[in-house]
Structure 1
């Protein structure tokens, strides 16, 4: 009887992961409703999924990672992308038209990106290759964590760097599931994710937080006293304090909830030059996803069925996805601004919003283009 129930209930659950008629955020001083021609789509070349954006310290770019393991750079004056770097030395069978998710564990899948100010090096969080670095001229990226870790990286995801110390902070979303089966991590209630740091001076890697539910994007605060971390499966943003001061209560925990009850599943986090933080919301909530989050046994039971849940998710995301982004207040963590498409301009997912010079660069792991919207 239980198996029959799962066969009926779980497809509805997975559909709901992307079929969002969800509620609007309860907070919000302004709403950015996207309409053409203000919103420009910039096709990526040869692959899809511009997950994250970063500009170098000359203001050039943005740079973004694609589904075939390449990192490309946008040449604004020429309105085209050029190849900048790759995360694996063997490129045979990686590029060209095919289902890149089937080869990404071989070809690499660059996700989070951040430049180191003093050297101009680009740090890359590759879902399969770990934490990498490439010089300002690009080329083949090198692995940073060459020493054997006590627990190897399985799903490297978000990254940021302290410009004062060069210390790199990054996330490992799961110790069990790889990116090509991230739906399994979400459905199972997996809590093996970690927030970590790498000190390039000592070559030492430290785990700051463990037992996290799909930790994702990470960003350093403006003055470097804390990190914000997207805990995707719980739809929360956590704040991890880095520096204790004389005014800090001794009883304060190392981390706390910065924002909760988000309207969907948070992905990457970026600082906004207008204050606060942009959070990409991969997909919005429905009542059924909230029910599923409270009943993890449902997802775990579904994983035992002979169903390719990644395909189910991909299919429904294509036709019913509804991504958005929210800007959180730096002080309270409340939503102060919402970015989402309306009617025919909805995004199937949004992984990140990077704001620079009055322009929002919008990324998604599912689309063959980046979005550019002038505020």
Structure 2
């Protein structure tokens, strides 16, 4: 959907791809040069309210797609994905980085160059990723809903997010209380990092020292 800068009723842009309805539309990023929209549909079998089933069943019906606002064309970039979630366009606009929640990984899907149309592993993560956003250094911030094998007892601290360099290596992590489970993280040029969660009624703001 698209919402005008001043708000108002949203306009539906896409509700099906190749004859199959969007059931669990999830991550989105926009190419600020072309206006092209990249987005994921996490599952063709389950809806947002059934998100835990996507992980439990190992569902691999997720899709990565693009929408061109100039032509209204929708292109299926990749099918058969395991819980594709957040998506981010690289700084050089040659590839997309996609969070694969169940496997706790990041994937790289090439959209330009000799590898265009192919995907490859990009990073292994210490937890279940949600949204992915560019940092200010050519890498990415990844919100982690929770860590792998996280226990309810023990120290009240877990990874909230990690920053991944453009080579796929983790270069920074952010920790906080276990009750905080981010679904969104974004770094701005003012040095502030914003954290959001579908489980909390506020946005957290972290300022670098």
Normalising by the residue count of structure 1, what TM-score does the alignment of the two structures yield? 0.51
1:278 to 141, 146, 155: 141
Q: Conserved in 1, the CA contact under 8 Å of 2:67 and 2:74?
A: yes
Q: Larger % of helix: which?
A: 1
**Aligned residue pairs, count:** 204
Q: What is aligned with 2:129?
A: 266
Q: What is aligned with 1:325?
A: 161
Q: Conserved in 1, the CA contact under 8 Å of 2:39 and 2:64?
A: yes
Structure 2: 5+ residue stretches without partners: none
* Higher mean C-alpha deviation, range 363-372 or range 229-238: 363-372
Cα distance between partner residues in 1 of 2:205 and 2:9: 28
Correspondence 1:372 to 2:193:
no
Q: Conserved in 2, the CA contact under 8 Å of 1:158 and 1:170?
A: yes
Residues 315-364 of structure 1 show CA distances to partners (whole Å, capped at 9, x for unaligned) of: x7xxx89451000011x2110000011xxx44431112111111111111
Normalising by the residue count of structure 2, what TM-score does the alignment of the two structures yield? 0.90
Structure 1: 5+ residue stretches without partners: 1-131, 289-315
In structure 2, do the counterparts of structure 1 residues 179 and 146 end up closer, same or farther at CA, with 3 Å as the change threshold? closer
Q: Larger % of strand: which?
A: 2
In structure 2, do the counterparts of structure 1 residues 147 and 228 end up closer, same or farther at CA, with 3 Å as the change threshold? closer
Cα distance between partner residues in 2 of 1:137 and 1:358: 27
Cα distance between partner residues in 1 of 2:65 and 2:73: 11
Cα distance between partner residues in 2 of 1:162 and 1:354: 16
Cα distance between partner residues in 2 of 1:329 and 1:355: 14
Q: What is aligned with 2:109?
A: 240
Q: What is aligned with 1:160?
A: 29
Aligned-residue CA RMSD (Å): 2.2
Q: Conserved in 2, the CA contact under 8 Å of 1:322 and 1:349?
A: no
Cα distance between partner residues in 1 of 2:144 and 2:199: 13
1:215 to 74, 77, 84: 84
